[in-house]
A and B are shown apart, each in its own frame.
Chain A
Amino acid sequence: MLPRWLIQLYAVALKEVRHTVRDRRMMALLLIAPAMQLGIFGLAVDFDVDRVPTVVVDHDQTTVSRQHLRRILADGTLVQRMVTASDAAAERAIDTGQMAAALVVPRGFERDLARGKAGHLQVVVDGTDPNRGSIAAAAVARYARIETRVAVQQALRGKISAARIGLALDAAAVPMASPSFPDVVLLPRVLHNPRLATSTYIVPGITALLLLVVTVIVTAMGLARERETGTLEQVMVTPMSPLVLLIGKLLPYVGIGLFDFLLALVVATAGFDVPIRGPLSVAFLGTTAYLTCTLGIGLLISTVSRTQQQAFIGGFLFLLPALLLSGVMTPLWGIPSWLLPVTKINPVKYYVEIVRGVLLKGSTFQDLSFHLGMLVAMGVLVLAFAAWRFQRSLA
């Protein structure tokens, strides 16, 4: 004979499943929408800055100026979308946001180079997006640095005369004995995501966000609805303990959450080449702990709100900071210190690190033990608190 609490648990869970299954729209929102959204959002996320629309103003109009412009544009960071002879027109193009950068070759560029003076290139960037602006400026600066280095080295080797490449390097001042000049170059080796693809690391993050959105508000409003419609009172007259009632109500959602996670994994690996380098068991363990947190928080919100509207607003007020301060969209490294405690109690942050760790970095149970521990601790704490409040609200 099964213990009575288990039978009761089963009964409540079954009732909750039936409730959800019967509402087709709700089913679709809970099971299909997350995977679909993941597919769509995964395609949309791309931080890569290339093809910066650029207006080119060549006041010099010489073969040399054209040659340099062609080579600057060759690496694809800047793309020439407009050519004009007027500075005012170029400025307007940036003002309207049509162009993000202007590349200006001043008059006398070729003459300066021929005379051995430094040739000046002007770059005007739209700083509205600092990342794009600095990358556009850096592309031109890099070109200038390489040009200078190549010119110096060629001059040093004496293969090409200084005059021919338009340089007036004082050959006597250069010790011909040294074949090159000392220089430190950085050799980056990128682990886990060698192409630095945006979707590879954002998709696991969005999975965490979708699980959050799907579970918190549903649980928050579920109990509020029962209270509003009066069915909670009917359940209360049964011999069930409130704890069994709560767990029974949450169990189906843990199932739904795990199913959503599985579906998201399929979308991520099949659609976005997200690897699975670590043990999936750790990921599922993390997901279960995470769901305990999110469902517990949903429940807690429902115990403090009287109506569905209040529950919805409460859920929202939790969701927004949880989403935006999770490190999914923007890294957490730039957060001021007074805000750090908030991120330290954000379950989403730990879960995102677990999912990225397992999928991308091949992190093991040991690597992530702290994160898992935090999630479990938060989940148990929140759930216990919610249960206590729930019990009190019934009494």
Chain B
Amino acid sequence: MTGPFTALGHALQRIAAMAAKEAAHIRRDPQTLAMALAMPVALLLLFGYGVTFDLEKLPVVAVDQDHTSVARSMVRSFSASRELVIAAELDSVEKGEALMREGRAVAVVVIPEGFSRALARGERTQLQLVVDGADATTALQTINKADAIASTALSLPVTTPGQGAARLVVDTWTLYNPAGRSALLLVPGLMAFILAMVCVLLTALTVAREWERGSMEQLFTTPIRRGELILGKLLPYVGLGILGVLLVLAVGAWVFGVPIRGSLLTLAVAALLFLIGMLAQGLFISVITKNQMVATQVGTLTSMLPIQILSGFIFPVANMPVPLQVVAQVMPATHFIAALRGILLRGNGLREQWQHLLALAAFALVMVVITSAKFRRRLD
């Protein structure tokens, strides 16, 4: 019995043997199992609540220099909103700024002397807002909310002569996320981020460990080829990863109300390609470093912060300078996050997302190939 089919059969046998060995490793190491399955769920629960742009009860200091009932009701209307809360009423802006330096207030609203008199005369009146710009996200939300409160302040008991009806009316429809919850944007990003971390973590040490412990030498005495070894090592982790994906999607849907509106098949393919790509990246690091300490450091530096910052998870890719956009386009997390948002929220399928799937497939293929190529069956 000779021929290409027997050769292929033997290759498959060797891959299966390698996969079985690695699966046994995983099975007998409850820590790895817990990390692959419990960690994504726990982290998603934690961060799904903790990572949010829906800010609430931002502490604002009020400085009322007008001392009238109109000014009082102006201050009250700040506290009435969900986003802002009057944390203190002080008599000078300086005292408010001191609170901001300590980080105990985000803004000072100043109602200047003569505020209600000017309003009664039918004039345009200024309301000052001193904002701590050290956190620009918070500052912007504070300004926007305060602006909304100020512009609706005309319901204050002031005579409003002849305000003609609006000339232009804007009808706004918000698609996919009418309530404007930031969770719908961030949770799919978190899913990708957490899965990526778990993948790199799972595989970054697996080859380096065999080198350090010397069991790599034993593997060399077997007839297994390097590509087969890499595939065999990957397979069990892909299986684990799929379970992780399902768990994470379930938590996203049940706990955070992230819908699954689009094609499940496209979702499955995207997730599978992403898993293979990230696992192979971890394996690649492990293969080239051969040292657990260096592998972990490289793994963390190349995945943890880059995925958080460059993938579009938090900061929009479109705002980045072109060279960094290129980097972002190479990272599988960027494409997986884009695909997840499209499929889960916008009800997309293969027709809209094929480019991202293609990019994910290309990354996975390149990673598996260069990992096999870099892997030397030699003891240096």
Q: Which residues of A contact B (CB under 8 A)?
A: 23, 25-26, 29, 33, 37, 40-41, 43-48, 51, 68, 94-97, 113, 118-134, 137-138, 140-141, 143-145, 147-148, 151-152, 155-156, 167, 169-170, 173-175, 178, 180-194, 196-198, 200-201, 206, 209-210, 213, 217-218, 221-222, 225, 308-310, 312-313, 315-317, 319-321, 323-325, 327, 329-331, 333-336, 339, 342-343, 353, 356-357, 360-364, 367-368, 370-371
Contact assessment for A330 and B137 in the assembled complex, using a CB-CB cutoff below 8 Å: yes
Measured between C-beta atoms, what is the minimum distance from B304 to chain A in Å?
A: 6
Do A129 and B316 contact each other (CB < 8 Å), given the known contacts A187-B129, A218-B297? yes
Residue contact B301 to A188, C-beta cutoff 8 Å? no
* Pairs of residues from A and B, 3 with the lowest C-beta to C-beta distance, nearest first: A193-B133, A127-B177, A144-B168
Q: Is B320 a contact partner of A128 (Cβ separation < 8 A)? A: no
Binding site for A on B (CB under 8 A): 31, 35, 39, 43, 46-47, 49-58, 74, 97-98, 100-103, 106, 118-140, 143-144, 146-147, 150-151, 153-154, 158-178, 180-182, 184-186, 197, 201, 205, 209, 289, 292-294, 296-298, 300-301, 304-306, 308-310, 314-316, 318-321, 324, 327-328, 338, 341-342, 345-348, 352
- With A334-B54, A335-B52 as contacts: A133 and B39 at CB distance below 8 Å: no
Q: Is the interface of A mostly helix, strand, loop or mixed?
A: helix
> Which A residues lie within 8 Å of B309 (CB)?
41, 44-45, 206, 329
State whether A121 and B169 are in contact (beta carbons under 8 Å apart), knowing that A46-B316, A218-B297 are contacts in the complex.
yes
Also in contact, A148 and B167, with CB within 8 A (given A46-B320, A321-B46): yes
Q: Is the CB of A144 within 8 A of B166?
A: yes
Asked if A152 and B164 sit within 8 Å, CB to CB, the answer is yes
Write 5 A-B pairs (CB below 8 A) sorted by A numbering.
Answer: A44-B310, A48-B319, A128-B346, A140-B172, A367-B98
A131 and B53 within 8 A (CB): yes
> Within 8 Å CB of B346, what residues of A?
94-97, 126, 128
Task: Kindly list 15 other residue pairs between chains A and B, CB separation below 8 angstroms, not including A37-B301, A124-B173, A125-B174.
Answer: A43-B321, A127-B174, A129-B185, A138-B144, A144-B166, A181-B122, A186-B150, A192-B134, A308-B292, A312-B201, A316-B300, A324-B50, A333-B106, A334-B56, A353-B103
CA distance in complex: A83, B261 (Å): 28
Nearest CB of chain A from residue B317's CB, rounded to whole Å: 9
Q: Are A182 and B154 in contact (CB-based, < 8 A)?
A: yes
Within the complex, what minimum Cβ distance (angstroms) separates B171 from chain A?
Answer: 5
A65 CB to nearest B CB, Å:
12
- Do A181 and B162 form a contact, CB below 8 Å, given A95-B347, A186-B127? yes
Within 8 Å CB of B35, what residues of A?
313
A95→B263 CA distance, assembly (Å): 13
In whole angstroms, how far apart are the Cα atoms of A8 and B118 in the complex?
76
Question: Which residues of the other chain, A, contact B147 by a CB distance below 8 angstroms?
Answer: 186, 188
A152-B164, A189-B129 are contacts. A320–B197 as well, Cβ < 8 Å?
Answer: yes
Give Cα A130–Cα B177 distance, bound, in whole angstroms: 7
Contacts of B341 in A (CB 8 A): 97, 128
Task: Give every chain A residue within 8 A of B119 (Cβ-Cβ).
Answer: 182, 184
Smallest distance from the beta carbon of A323 to chain B beta carbons, Å? 7
Q: Are B293 and A221 in contact (CB under 8 A)?
A: yes
